[in-house]
A and B are shown apart, each in its own frame.
Chain A
């Protein structure tokens, strides 16, 4: 999309009343939850600072931590693949899955980054997003509009329509529990039948090789335990040194996403196993027999060496900056990239090789600095965006 086309799109979105109402509802509810969390758990700001310094340490020698994580994962009998590009990552997953299979997914922005769902569908698989918001996005054929709330732009009335169109169940638009029930029933069988469960990870501890998933719906648990094979696509920036550090990161993510504690905090260390018969280890007792971890670079290693772009690698995907950005408040995730929306999305576009897109999107940032203020990692998004513009203008206009 050109700058001009983007501006036209956003102009239309400024006039979109439905969108305005949906965004307003979400922001209000988030703000109340966030304020409550930050007030009640006053230690969290300090913990967030500590997490930033942990991540600073990792990113200053990312190569070493990647190596350590790979060793730990392999020791846990996890099959590790290092993917330098999005295409490479897609191919790896494609080779594992093959075709004519049933795949259930938990919400993962990293898999959106590499366009995994459509890739697996094209290969002739049946693929289901199991996070309710992400399923709505799948039905709409659009992109996720927020890190935490991917269907933030959709009002309940539209969700009722989608459920009718896609699973043929009539639901009252005011009956949100009824909608949730309908989807639960629909997905139940898919979980049981699925050959593969695909997820991302919120954190990966290098010492124990444990993958952490922060979820509320419980779909993350089902996706990682029912199918025989679990495939996790994890950005290398998600690595932290220790298991203890990983818990700290999860705590910060939860609180800044507006949850005191999420319903399901999962730590997965290798495939399911039992040694209950004569101490002989057998893999795949009740959970997956096999776990694959695809460690994704796709520009991250290079960014970790760029003092400006490195900022974005601290991002925990808590969504605070999106909920509270004044531009996002008006146009939602229509501003930003395909997987990474809003101001932080501009940075992630730049990191993942979509420089042109990043440049164009950068001009819709106000530089007001609010995102930096509300970000637990205090990411200098506006400064990085300015620098992205400056680099582009230097290139284009001398």
Chain B
């Protein structure tokens, strides 16, 4: 798949579904089924859909690897498959796992902020991918629409749940829009410290470097094993390059897993992209990768 077809595909998906993969955004709120959460309000829980989209990225990657790169027409057809409703493409179990993570994080947050709101169908993907690839025109439009939706719903503070969405909302939105909301990462609200003996931590780049939240992360989890390169100089899982170069993403994930399993086979991280990319290769190393929300039992 060459660059122009990737750009064309992303553009079309943005126009049709307001996200780069063309996923039906209605399914973003599936995690909240049965929960009573007010629409909007001063403080909102903002998923950015990344945990929900992550299992699809995994599938897109496997699909891209199978298609010979010289056949862009085939690729467009794969793009069409991604316009299908969520449940039909991704295994239900996988989707459930990611929805559960979001639900857990929400419950942790609601413990601290009982009247927290949610934008429901007005919430959307943050646009991080557009920004990363350099599609500034799409990113700006996208960001402005999000800011409008927040204003409409009376939002002043946004609680983010993944490091990519957090960085984009906190550091990049103000450069491209008139956004002036307070952006907080959910871990900043948690006053717990969970000892994770026997685990090894994989620090997400966007959490510890771009968002500077290493201390917050280590406050929430303690006594966790550290690989050779950890914290501020942790090595990347490879996730960011998966939509352009899946083979590279896989090699990077393997390299990182090798560093991690040298300490423990129980890996904990805090990012849907890391989770998917490490998860894809962990079986071979008899390792298990979990999101921090899956190991934080307390307070639920």
- Listed in ascending order, the chain A residues whose CB lies under 8 Å from chain B are 3-4, 7, 10-11, 14, 324, 326-327, 329-330, 363-364, 366-370, 372-374, 386-394, 396-398
Contact = CB atoms under 8 A, between A and B. Distances in A.
Given A324-B233, A329-B255, A393-B134, A4 B7 contact: no
Q: Which of A4, A368, A369, A373 has the most CB of B within 10 A?
A: A368
Interface stretch (B24-32, B154-162, B238-246, B262-270): B238-246
B2 A3 contact: yes
Contacts of A14: 247-248, 251
Contact of A389 (B2, B133, B238): B133
* Binding site secondary structure of chain B: helix
Nearest to A385: B134
Given A326-B238, A368-B209, A393-B134, A4 B248 contact: no
A397 B9 CA distance: 13
Contacts of A373: 209, 232-233
B144 to A, nearest CB: 17
A364 B136 CA distance: 19
B50 to A, nearest CB: 16
B210 interface: yes
A393 B240 contact: no
* Binding site secondary structure of chain A: helix
Contact of B209 (A330, A369, A388, A394): A369
B132 interface: yes
A386 B240 contact: no
Given A327-B252, A369-B205, A370-B205, A11 B134 contact: no
Nearest to A24: B255
Given A10-B248, A330-B251, A369-B209, A3 B3 contact: yes
Contacts of B60: none
A288 B130 CA distance: 56
Given A3-B2, A327-B248, A370 B133 contact: no
Contacts of B238: 326, 366
A329 B134 CA distance: 25
Given A370-B233, A370-B235, A364 B248 contact: yes
B240 A368 contact: yes
Nearest to B136: A390
Contacts of B3: 3, 363
Contact of A367 (B11, B240, B252, B256): B240
Contacts of A327: 241, 248, 252
Interface string B120-154: 00000000000111111100000000000000000
Given A11-B247, A366-B240, 5 more contacts: A364-B245, A373-B233, A386-B131, A388-B134, A393-B133
B248 A374 contact: no
Contact of A394 (B136, B233, B245): B136
Nearest to A389: B134
Given A373-B209, A386-B134, A390-B136, A326 B255 contact: yes
Nearest to A374: B233
Pairs of residues from A and B, 5 with the lowest C-beta to C-beta distance, nearest first: A389-B134, A390-B134, A368-B236, A369-B209, A368-B205
Contacts of B232: 373
A304 to B, nearest CB: 23
Contacts of A363: 3, 244-245
Contacts of B248: 10-11, 14, 327, 330, 364
B236 A370 contact: yes
Q: Which of B4, B236, B247 has the most CB of A within 10 A?
A: B236
A392 B136 CA distance: 11
10 contacts: A4-B2, A14-B248, A327-B252, A367-B132, A369-B210, A373-B209, A393-B7, A393-B135, A394-B137, A397-B135
B252 A326 contact: yes
A280 to B, nearest CB: 58
Contacts of B188: none
Contacts of A329: 235, 255
Contact of A366 (B11, B131, B236, B255): B236
A204 B244 CA distance: 42
